Structure 1
Amino acid sequence: MMKASFKARYEPEKAAAAATVAVNAGDFKLRASMTDATVVNGPTLNGLALALEKPGSFIINYDVPKKDFRFQFMNSVKVADKPLNLTYIHSNGDKRTILDGTLVVDSANKVSANHVFGTGNARFKYTYLHGGLTTFEPSYDLGKNAWDFAVSRRVYGDDVFKGTYQTTSKNLGLEWSRSSKLNGSFKISASVNLAEERKMPKLCAETTWDIEM
């Protein structure tokens, strides 16, 4: 089976587009993705990436123009009979290694941690799902010594409204998204920096279509 995904993004200053084609090959997936930079002045290799994935196990990405490999390995272990999902990511080009872990306490509570090796920095997040519809996500950045907050609410089945606030940058964000297998997905977001004298909102719209062949 082959699956294609097309994404368009629009901001007042610029517009961008991207496409991904994935092919199932037994237990593996072969994926190719490109941006508008690949075809606008091309065809060129700009924005072209290839990937080999075994779902739930590993992903190997290759950035063609940069000749850069990115390795991602996933695993799950039990901690006090609770699933701990681990993700190890290494980018060969910038020598960056990230370890990400999520402990699923129960269906409503999750605790996540993210660490970039060599930086001494870590980020922690607690996710609480209330009533199956409302999600609260406070997070703490150890390096910045700062809290961020997010709250989202699912309405009418496919629609999600989300608000975020970053304490360090004083950015307030609002987002409306919809995910539908029949009509595609879209996201409309607006953000404003409360620290700026002229509090002009930044607007962005994204839409995605998935096609199975």
Structure 2
Amino acid sequence: MKASFKARYETDKAAAAATVAVNAGDIRLRASMTDATIVSGPNLNGLALAVEKPGFFIVDYNVPKKDFRFQFMNTIRVSEKPLNLTYMHSRGDNRTSLDGTLVFDSANKVSANHVLGSGNCKLKYTYVHGGLTTFEPSYDFSKNSWDFAISRRVYGDDVFRAAYQTSSKNLGLEWSRNSKLNGSFKISASLNLADERKMPKLTAESAWDFEM
């Protein structure tokens, strides 16, 4: 049995979440809850249950909303290159999306996301330079705009990332660490350059994993 706990703090609020997962052969059973589940006494708010087979399928059930979400994964080969496909359907809002990632080699891949029945389609190219620096330009067809992101791995576990959305003029900076020994954290700041006040929004997250 594995458990994880995540705490999140924003400039205007704080929140926490916990997840417990149990392996049953090839199947994993998972339950997650937020602080809304216990802050006002035991209730079903923020509670979600899931059954998953890693790499094949995930079935999520949002208890308070009584909503199922189905996710199926598969990999096919195109010209000897792996194409990773993910199909997602949410019954509550009747929303279906398809993700695809074509991996050319360890440094180059192209991914696309499309919401079926809409003009919402995003295309992203990822290039990893020297195994440390990642460039990610992407294009949103529905907004007719480009987004850009660059990240750099330092000291093994630390990653610094900067992203800019041209449609909203939103600039984001992030520092994250994922360590098996010391847990993980993420500190991020976002700033809307179109806002006259130009007040950044700060967010801090920390997570711990436990073997039970």
Is the structural similarity TM-score above 0.5? Answer: yes
Partner of 2:201: 202
1:12 and 1:174 map into 2 onto residues whose CA distance is 15
Give the equivalent residue in structure 1 for 2:79: 80
Mapped pair 1:41 → 2:40: yes
Quick one: percent identity of the two aligned structures? 80
Partner SS for 1:147: strand
Q: Which amino acid aligns with 1:181?
A: K
Structure 1's consecutive aligned runs of 4 or more residues displaced over 3 angstroms after TM superposition are none
How far, CA to CA, are the matches of 2:64 and 2:201 in structure 1? 31
Shift of 1:32: 0.2
| Aligned position for 1:176 | 175
3-state secondary structure, aligned to 2:100: strand
Give the Cα separation in 1 of the matches to 2:59 and 2:27: 11
Read off the aligned partner of 1:25 and give its amino acid letter: A
Aligned to 2:63: 64
**Aligned counterparts of 2:139 and 2:4: Cα–Cα separation in 1:** 34
Alpha-carbon separation, structure 1, partners of 2:24 and 2:129: 39
Q: Is structure 2 residue 130 aligned with structure 1 residue 128?
A: no
- Please state how far the C-alpha of 1:118 moved relative to its aligned partner: 1.2
- CA distance, structure 1, for counterparts of residue 130 and residue 11 of structure 2: 37
TM-score (norm 2): 0.99
SS at match of 1:45: coil
1:107, 1:195 → 2: CA distance? 37
Q: CA-atom RMSD, angstroms?
A: 0.5
1: CA distance between counterparts of 2:46 and 2:121? 30
Structure 2 unaligned spans of 5+: none
**1:150 aligns to what?**
149
What count of residue pairs does the alignment treat as equivalent? 212
In structure 1, the residue corresponding to 2:15 is in which secondary structure? Answer: strand
Deviations 1:50-107 (Å, cap 9, x if unpaired)? 0000111100000111111000000000000000000000000000000000000100
State the 1:42 CA deviation: 1.9
Of 141-150 and 115-124, the range deviating more from structure 2? 115-124
